[in-house]
A and B are shown apart, each in its own frame.
Chain A
Amino acid sequence: MAVRKATKKKTAKKTVAKKARKAPAKKKKAPAKKAPAKKTKRSSGRSGSGTAPASGGNPAGLRVRMYRVGFGDFFLFTVPAASGPKHILIDCGVHSKDTHSIQAAVSHMAAETGKQLALIIVTHRHADHVTGFSKCKDVFKDFKVERIWMSWYENPKDAKALAIQANIAAVATQVSHALAARDKPEDEQYRNMVGNITEAMSATGTQNPGAFEVLRGFPGNPPISYYKAGDTPELPQDLVDAGLDAQILGPPDSNNMIKKTDSSKEEYLASEAATEGGHIRLFSPPFWVQPGEYSSDVLSKEDILAMQTRVATVQPDTLAARAGVANNLINNQSLVTLFTFKDKTLLFAGDAQWGNWANFLFGSLTGTTLKAASKAILGNLDFYKVGHHGSTNATPKDALAAMKDGCVAMCSTAIGAYNEVPRDALITAIDQKTHHQLARSDQVEAGNAKPDKDAGALPAGVFNASTVMVGEVPCGFIDYVV
């Protein structure tokens, strides 16, 4: 551990950037060369080879592992405890840009943890955060899990939460039908947005049973807790004894904190009406006329033509907007957890977007002054899981500005899943903030995907990238040892 720390320090100063770590630097240079020489072990990962990676690869210290699965989150956070390493699983899912490696990754994780998880955190219900549970239900079914945390929106006993989720699901279903009906290729990202909602929940979507049934069906029925900002979460005793502490920073309790939530009755127009009625024919045929009926003294042919075009072009794409709103609503339900271990703090923000962040940063949606407590938390931060795959408003500028210079960040992302995800300007800003200690999941090979050239190289020395074969499938992940 001491050695590792020293290495990291040096790297931060950028003195030995390319020293011992052959893999990440080399990978970028010559991916083509690497391809034919496919071997079980491709990089400096410590894991054993073959289908059953040994659990001996567990670290002595704190470790965050990010699996590459495509557009989706799959994080394993490992804490050293008296009885050995304890594992916390934070989300497990993939939606679009699937690298078809999630089964391999889950098997790998199962072997690594000995199928024992101290805690599972499900940040929110988007498919790209939960489908791993349903896709790998056979692996998960005999996991020993001590506790599960979710946001209050998932509490089946909370009538308000149920109504909100039902409403969002209904809107998402309507919008997905309407998008399917109009069948435009450029709608792909909007279809992804609503698909991310409907597929996570529907029984017929990906697999039966759905992710939440798996989560609620672990042997021994581990307790599931539902939290909101400000709650004191209950950690398994082993982790408490090990010195781990956790705080819940989001999502806020009040609906109104999250912009435009569920209240369809407050909407100017109910979505039912908005998505139907596309094929109404008005009036009787004698009233259907050519534009020539207008007097050319006041409206020329060009005027009429201009108007025709304007009327057609200025209409907003309300379907797309609805898909976006539904997507944001679910993201804003993200359970945001701050872990403290000894003097280190780590922030896992799920996919929290503006409404969720605003509560934490400013205390309200209308506030503009950063709360002192939030400033202190961010100013001490050692690790940040980048929100929402690096999208534009999931890491507010003010939050980033307040973060400690030189903290470390990890971002699970995939180029091209959505428009502007990841947002280049934001990635650059995070890279600067972290003194070039930002890892992207698409920087490691996994499944059918090579490291994405456009993602750049993994910063050498800070992280540890590995690709190991699980059966026939390359399982890729990036480790950060604190």
Chain B
Amino acid sequence: MVAQVQFEDLHPGPVGERFAVVDYDASQKTFYQPVNLDDPQIVMRQGLDPSESDPRFHQQMVYAVASETLQRFEIAIGRRVHWARFDGPKSKKMDKTGPLPSHRLCLFPHAMADANAFYSRDAQGILFGYFRASETMPGDNLPGQTIYSCLSHDIIAHETTHAILDGMRSYFSEPTNIDVTAFHEAFADLSALFGHFSHREILLDTLMKTGGRLYDTWLQAPMQTGSDGVELSGQIQRINPLAQLALQFGEASGMNRGLRDMLGSKPNSDDITRLTEPHARGAILVAAVFDAYFTTYTRRTADLFRIFRAGGGSANPVDLPDALAHRLAEEAARTAEEFFTICARAIDYCPPVDMTFSDFLRAMLTAHVDVHPVDDWHVRSALMEAFRLRGIVPRDAESLTENSVCWPQVVKDSLPEIPELIFGDPNGLTREEADRNGGVLRAYAAKNAKALGFADDHGPIDAPSFHPIFRIGPHGNLIIDMVVELVETRIVEDNELGKYPFRSGVTLLIWQEFQQNGQRAAPEIHYVVPKHRTPQREEQQRLHFSTIDRTGRHDADGHLKKNASAHDIASAWKIDFGLVHAGL
């Protein structure tokens, strides 16, 4: 399989514009030789060939998959992703070191001898571990074989997505309710899973082996099982790779399956009240999105199957004709791309804090309506139905109809315009423009706090992010928006929990109408996506925080220190993906 990434100047590492691969192993206190992808010998061969025993291939793989994942996101959301900055408490050890270069995400392909891999804002990077395969249940691996998490396409994509999401929404890593961590995991899984569909070879192979039913859990074996029950290895059914994540990793850990196999489970509305473990809970959301995806894929390919059958093809085909397989692959890939785009764009339509599954559903539908006002294939109803079957219903919406599930649009002229806002161009804002926008937005928030829904006794309102978005609409038109987070933070002091931040705020989607009479129209707020302070929310966050066990965190007591800064406090409460990914 070949990964195509954009050309850029690379230093040994590889170290490029957005990523720095640094192969430091903290368990062995060793560096491994960095690859120089600009080396003519390697360029000539289009990169190193796969090799488990050469660290340079590992580095190349991590770089390529992470870059590919980032690219897919940036295309989908129509703007550049900024990595979240390290801003937490510094341990004594850390104090000696200066700040990390902010614009690169560090990738550590062999960071530790541990069956773990995780994104860490404090390291501003992703740490990949390695471990020995289970001696007793290694799956398809050799017992005791060394397994590298950095060689799993899925794990790299998953972790990179955590970093991207943290960069897009820094408060989504504050687990203020039971859905937040689960959402981070679900979103990373969705990204990794949809990534599978962008790879033609796998897609075609799976289509062939499922007779076009991509959603089947099992692939058909190349040979049929005889009636006498004898089974040759060629007759063993293989698991559908599209619906599994990190098969090798899961099998090597003794799980006898991929790290996650959430697809194909029977929908029920019970799980949502029962499951609390972030991956298990996240799987509910993933399953709902994939349910809608497969429903749409089936609708879009129904005609192809009808044509195939009309031409004498079997209703339950074992061998798909090549041409049909290619057409199906095209539909599957196109639909996957569309769904991935809905998911990625939905982030910009989520409230800035305290996010729930229900918010995500509402955000997805709104994002979809904005770009595809006409929904020929009933994607939105497929989504609503799939979510409803899994007990995820839009809270506070009047009914389960498209109109009431989407966030309500701001009534024209009910909020003042923001004339001073600068949208810049698709290459981003200059520092001056950004500084100016920050000031404009804070002033606007202070002046219009009440109209935006903030409580009367609100504190200072900050604008932690504002990004212009440039997207292509269905008619090839360029849609320009700006997504703004406005957040009010209070530091709560609790006997039991120590200090913690309680946040509320709104996400604004602002757009600029066409110019009139030679004048640029003033930007108007189009959506206000709220998460306001309510006694229920305060109570819910406190209860949820009291369930969090901090044992084993590297910053376990950051919020208990006497003169802890707001940053220290926030940092101590954010999700520790190292523990979440270790199942703890």
Contacts and interface: CB of A to CB of B under 8 A. Distances in A.
A365 B276 contact: yes
Nearest to B16: A298
Nearest to B53: A283
A397 B546 contact: yes
Contacts of A291: 24, 31
A321 interface: yes
A277 B280 contact: no
A353 to B, nearest CB: 9
B163 to A, nearest CB: 14
A267 interface: yes
Contacts of A303: 98, 100-101
Interface of B: 11-13, 15, 20, 22, 24-28, 30-34, 53-56, 86, 91, 93-94, 96-101, 106, 108, 110-116, 120, 122-125, 127, 130-134, 136, 146, 178, 252-255, 259, 273-277, 279-280, 495-496, 536, 539-540, 542-543, 546-547, 549, 551-554, 576, 578-584
A273 B139 CA distance: 13
A290 interface: yes
Interface string A284-317: 1011111101110111001111111111111111
A268 B581 contact: yes
A259 B56 CA distance: 41
Interface string A227-262: 000000000000000000000000000101001100
A426 interface: yes
10 contacts: A268-B581, A269-B115, A288-B32, A305-B97, A310-B97, A310-B123, A311-B127, A321-B549, A321-B553, A324-B549
A37 interface: no
A208 B102 CA distance: 60
A328 interface: yes
A299 B19 CA distance: 12
B97 A309 contact: yes
A254 B31 CA distance: 48
Contacts, number: 263
B55 A282 contact: yes
A188 interface: no
Q: Which of B13, B115, B576 has the most CB of A within 10 A?
A: B115
Contact of B131 (A190, A277, A322): A277
Contact of B33 (A270, A286, A320): A286
Given A282-B25, A303-B101, A306-B99, A274 B131 contact: yes
Contacts of A286: 33
Contact of A273 (B134, B542, B579): B134
B392 to A, nearest CB: 13
A274 B582 contact: yes
Contacts of B178: 365-366
Q: Which of A256, A297, A315, A425 has the most CB of B within 10 A?
A: A315
A320 B580 CA distance: 14
Interface residues of A, number: 77
Contacts of A284: 53
A353 B498 CA distance: 19
B33 A289 contact: yes
A309 B96 contact: yes
Nearest 8 interchain pairs by C-beta: A321-B552, A267-B583, A324-B551, A306-B97, A273-B115, A316-B578, A295-B11, A277-B132
Contacts of B116: 268-269, 274, 318
B146 A306 contact: no
B252 to A, nearest CB: 7
A313 B576 CA distance: 13
A368 B552 contact: no
Given A254-B274, A325-B551, 16 more contacts: A260-B584, A266-B583, A268-B581, A277-B114, A280-B130, A282-B146, A284-B53, A287-B54, A288-B32, A291-B31, A307-B108, A307-B125, A315-B127, A321-B551, A325-B549, A423-B496
B106 A307 contact: yes
Given A307-B125, A366-B276, A398 B20 contact: no
Contact of B20 (A298, A317, A322): A298
B94 A310 contact: yes
B21 to A, nearest CB: 10
Contact of A315 (B20, B55, B578, B583): B578
B517 to A, nearest CB: 49
A317 B556 CA distance: 10
A393 interface: yes
B186 to A, nearest CB: 14
Contacts of B101: 298-299, 303
A222 B179 CA distance: 47
A156 interface: no
Contacts of B259: 268
B568 to A, nearest CB: 15
A281 interface: yes
A153 interface: no
A289 to B, nearest CB: 5
Contacts of A310: 86, 94, 97, 100, 120, 122-125
B255 A276 contact: no
Contacts of B25: 282
A143 to B, nearest CB: 38
Interface in A27-64: none
A316 B115 CA distance: 13
A366 B549 CA distance: 16
A173 to B, nearest CB: 16
B134 A272 contact: yes
B552 A316 contact: yes
Contacts of A366: 178, 273, 276
Contact of B120 (A314, A325, A397): A314
Nearest to B256: A265
Given A306-B97, A316-B576, A318-B114, A276 B581 contact: no
B97 A316 contact: no
Contacts of B252: 273
A392 interface: yes
Nearest to A323: B551
